[in-house]
Amino acid sequence: MARALYIHWPFCLAKCPYCDFNSHVRDKVEHEHWKTALVSEMRREREISGHDGALSSIFFGGGTPSLMPPALVSHLIDTAQDLWGFAPDIEITLEGNPSSIEAANYTALASAGINRVSLGVQALDDETLRFLGRLHDAREALDALEIAQGLFSRVSFDLIYARPGQTLDGWRAELEQALAYGTGHLSLYQLTIEPGTRFETMVRKGQFAPLDEDACADMFALTREMTANAGLPAYEISNHARPGEESRHNLTYWRYQDYCGIGPGAHGRRGGVATTRHRKPENWLDAVAARGDGINETRDLGLREQASEAMLMGLRLAEGVNLAALSTRFGLPQEALHDPRKVAFYETQGLLWRQGEVLGVTEAGMALLDGLLGEIVPADLVESADLVESGLS
C-alpha cells in the first residue's frame, strides 16, 4: 500500500472569492512556533500509523505553502525522511501562487527538496484574475511559470474555466496559450459556486450569473479534446498529464491508498481509519500543544464505507476500477460494489466501459459523472461514504 504524506499550510495573503478550502488570512505567522507544532504532529502521526514502508510522495497544500520559509520546508522534509524513509523516486510537491514574492523563493525551495510545483495561475488575462480575486497579474504569473520550469523537474499549473461571460472561442484561445508552455501536467477546473464563499453571496445578490450548463458542457468536451491532441490526456476528470507525469500523490487518493495528513483541517486515511484535524489554526495549535496532535476526530471506517469511497474515487480515473481487486480487498461480492443491471444499461448507452474485471467511465460518461455514480454505486454505499479530498492538483 502506497504511503503518502499531506502537509497543510493554512495561510494566504487574501481569501479568493471562489475558495472553500481551509485557508486563513493572518497579520503575522510565528514560523518557529509552527515548525515546532508541525514536527510534533508529524512525529505523533508516525507513532500512530506505524512504519509499513517508505513515503512515495509528500504534498504541501493550502492555503499558500509557497509563502512558507524555505528553511521550514526543508526541515519538514528532513523530518519526514527520518521518520518514514523515502522511496528512491519520491515526488515532493508544493502548491503556490505565481507571484513575484513566491517566485523569489523557488531556488531555495528546489534546494530544500521540492521537485514538483503546482502553480495557481487560474487565468491568463488580468481582468479575469481581478474577478477571481488573485493578487498576481498575467505577466507576473507567466514569469513565475518560466522560473519554475527552469528549477523544478515537474511543473503543473491550474486554470479555472466556464467563467461568467466566457465564450467557447475565448476558452479555446486561452487553453492553446496554456498548452504552448509545455508543462507536463495541467489541472483544469470548471468554476463552481461553493457554499459559504463570497461568490455564493454575489450570485445570490444577482451580481453575476454562472455560465449555463450547455456552455459548461461544451467547454468540458473541448478541454478534453485539446489536451488529448496535445499529448496531455485526461487521466482524471479535471487533471491532464503527459504519460508518466501524473500526480503520484493525487493518484494515492484516487486509487484509495493510505495517506497521512497533518496541519489544520488535514484529513487522512490509513489502515481503515479516517482522521480529521481542527480547521482553525489557533484551535489546531492549542490541541497540538496539549497532546501532540491536532486531531479532532478519529473514526473507524466500515468495509462498505471504504468500498464506497474506493468506487467513488476510482471511477474519476480514466483507468477505472478493478472490481475483483476491490471485492477481495473489502470482502464484499462484486454485486455489492455496483448495480450490475444499471451498469449493463449504461454500457449500452456508451457511458461506461468494461474490460474483464475493470469498470470505467467513457468520455461521454465523464461529462455526467456525478449523476452516473449516483446511479451505479448502490445507495447504501454512497450514503455511508464520508469522502474528503485534500490539495488535488
Mean pLDDT across the stretch 240-268? 96
pLDDT score of 160 more than 50: yes
Q: Which fold has domain 4-253?
A: TIM Barrel (3.20.20)
Q: Is the pLDDT of residue 31 over 50?
A: yes
Q: Is 90 exceeded by the pLDDT of residue 41?
A: yes
The predicted model gives 281-310 an average pLDDT of 94
In this prediction, residue 390 carries a pLDDT of 46
Over residues 248-258, mean pLDDT: 96
pLDDT above 60 for 387: no
Beta bridge partners of 6: 59, 261
Per CATH, domain 304-384 is 2.60.120.620: no
Q: What's the rounded mean pLDDT across residues 190-216?
A: 96
State the average pLDDT over residues 281-298.
95
Q: 7-16, 99-108, 313-322, 329-338 — which is least confidently predicted?
A: 99-108
pLDDT for res 2: 56
Ranges for all domains in the chain classified under CATH 1.10.10.920: 304-384
Q: Which of 40-49, 330-339, 376-385 has the lowest mean pLDDT?
A: 376-385
Taking each helix axis as running N to C, give the angle between helix 213-229 and helix 168-180, from 0 to 180 degrees, rounded to the nearest 10.
30
Percentage with pLDDT > 90 across the chain: 90
Encoded amino acid at 5, one letter: L
Q: pLDDT (tens digit, 9 = 90+) per residue, 204-248?
A: 999 999 999 999 999 999 999 999 999 999 999 999 999 999 999
First to last CA, the chain: 21
Calculate the CA dihedral of residues 96, 100, 103, 108 and round it to 10 degrees. -120
Cell 492538483 sits at which residue?
393
Per-residue confidence at 202, pLDDT binned at 50, 70, 90? very high
67 has a pLDDT exceeding 60: yes
What does the pLDDT read at residue 378? Answer: 80
Between 52 and 138, where is the model more confident?
138
Residue 391 — very low, low, confident or very high, per pLDDT cuts 50/70/90?
A: very low
| pLDDT, position 51 | 63
Round to whole Å and give the CA distance between 313 and 389: 9
Mean of per-residue pLDDT scores for the chain? 93
Which range, of 23-27, 85-89, 388-392, averages the lowest pLDDT? 388-392
The answer on pLDDT for 393 being more than 60 is: no
Provide mean pLDDT across the span 247-270. 95
On the question of pLDDT at 266 being above 70, the answer is: yes
Per-residue pLDDT at 286 exceeds 80: yes
In the chain, CATH 3.20.20.70 sits at 4-253
Q: Does 386 have pLDDT greater than 80?
A: no
User: Is the bond preceding residue 85 a cis peptide, omega within 30 degrees?
Assistant: no
**Which pLDDT does position 52 carry in this prediction?**
67
Q: Is the pLDDT score of 389 beyond 60?
A: no
